[in-house]
Structure 1
Amino acid sequence: MNDPAADAETILRTPRERARAQTIADIVRLGRGHLATHGAAALSLRAVARDLGVVSSAVYRYVANRDELLTLLLVDAYSELGDAVDAAVNALPERDFDGRFKALGRAVRTWALREPARYGLLFGSPVPGYQAPSVQTTPPGTRVIYRLIGILDGAYRAGALTVTTARTAVIPSALSADLEAIRSELGLAMPEELQANGALVWTSLFGAVSFEVFGQYGADTFRARDELFEHHLTVLAGMAGLVPDRNPRDALKSAATPV
């Protein structure tokens, strides 16, 4: 089915604008390949220009330098990961909070294993000499964590996640101030104990994915990697305070505000 908004945007673009957008898309595509082959630190606009079949000075009209190429690749990867997570989460009933959390985790892992170099650019070692511009990278870079927060806060609002269902620890006063600022900024309902648990769930999820992507388990330690990750998801869901949905049909009928 055609998207009228996208069609209108295409019509409004001049041939020059369309050509420019296509060239930048080609540069990003080739940059992905160089990232996978040579790593982020070795990215070279000259090499990309060579593969594009143009002189390097022509590429500089579209991408000013290596740092700008890295930024384009970051935004591209964050956006693709966010799209994958949204598709997986949206495929489940709105009130299946446990299922949506696990779908989010599986989507992150699947994308990371398919795109290890791009995952490494996002969550691996910083590229020497490069500082990501927050204005461009923060919105796409926070999509997954905001989706995770939305699932947990939605579960709390629905009574499906409470302090009594999650293991909690005393929150230090300095941390309490940080959590209050986050709760105010994002309009969250869940209390600070569950926010702090959510932060641990977030870092643990990506830690588990990173261990697998970067080969930290070793070659022979765990052969049943899928089963190990599913175990991690179950434990993390319990840590957050989520419980498996016992009646998906009722959840579908009573679905209210989307997470």
Structure 2
Amino acid sequence: MTSPRSAPRTARERVRAQLTAEIVDVARTHLATAGAAALSLRAVARELGMVSSAVYRYFPSRDDLLTRLIVEGYDALGEAVELAEAAAPREDLLGRWHAACGAARSWALAHPHEYALLYGSPVPGYSAPQDTIAPAGRVAIVLARVVSDGLASGAVAPPPGDDAQVMAPGLLGELGLPDDTGLGGRLVLAWSSLFGAIGFELFGHTHNVVVAHEEHFRSVTTRLAAEVGLPA
């Protein structure tokens, strides 16, 4: 799934948009067959029957193409989580939490190579630009919104302690939470543990250890919900 973009208006813009989409689709296929580290604009051009110089007019470097794949991956994951959470009853905080977490796992299982690009081993020589930051935060924003709604309704009580200092100054406010809530460290724990649990399952670390992955995942996310104060 691609991130939202304005529709091309002219014939030239439509052709460019189509070719850009084809390049990205082929590159996504190469993630599955060769991995992100081996992604090559020349190989993509060869598969499309184009000269490499033509592909460079759309993506000046391999890193530009990787960034596009990463942004689209984060956006697709974020949209899946947002839609699932939005479909749950607003008053059911735990249900919304489970819907969001379950959607993240389902997306990862359905798109393992794209998930590996987002949360697997770093690609040698690649440094993610600022463009990736907002898409990468979409899942965390959904989880924080559930907690924020719980605080607003009184269903969630801020825990004691100074966990707010774990997060960068102002970040809790950007997530819609009071800066002095004391939930900063707990939210970081929940966010990192969520993707850790998904990654361990997806990359085979829990195979031959966990016999019922879906049930185990729900148990993990229930404990994470309790960690941030959501009522059972």
Give the TM-score normalised by structure 2. 0.91
Of residues 177, 180, 188 in structure 2, which corresponds to 1:199?
Answer: 188
Change (3 A) 1:20 1:193: same
1:171 Cα shift? 2.4
Change (3 A) 1:231 1:177: closer
Q: Report what 2:220 is aligned to.
A: 232
Q: Report what 1:79 is aligned to.
A: 75
8 Å Cα contact 1:74-1:121 kept in structure 2 = yes
1:170 Cα shift? 3.3
Q: Residues of 2 paired with 1:214 and 1:154: CA distance?
A: 34
Q: Report what 2:135 is aligned to.
A: 140
The Cα RMSD (Å) is 2.0
Question: Which stretches in structure 2 are left out of the alignment for 5+ residues?
Answer: none
Q: Residues of 1 paired with 2:137 and 2:225: CA distance?
A: 20
Q: Residues of 2 paired with 1:215 and 1:240: CA distance?
A: 28
Change (3 A) 1:145 1:193: same
Of residues 45, 51, 67 in structure 1, which corresponds to 2:47?
Answer: 51
Instruction: Determine if the alignment matches structure 1 residue 211 to structure 2 residue 207.
Output: no
Change (3 A) 1:181 1:18: same
Which protein, 1 or 2, shows the higher relative CO under an 8 Å CA cutoff with sep ≥ 6?
1
Question: Which stretches in structure 1 are left out of the alignment for 5+ residues?
Answer: 1-5, 245-259
Q: Residues of 1 paired with 2:77 and 2:177: CA distance?
A: 24
Higher gyration radius (CA): 1
Q: Report what 1:154 is aligned to.
A: 149
1:73 Cα shift? 0.3
Of residues 209, 215, 226 in structure 2, which corresponds to 1:221?
Answer: 209
Percent identity, please: 46
Give the TM-score normalised by structure 1. 0.82
Structure 1 stretches of 4+ with a deviation exceeding 4 A read 177-180
Instruction: Determine if the alignment matches structure 1 residue 243 to structure 2 residue 231.
Output: yes
Change (3 A) 1:186 1:242: closer
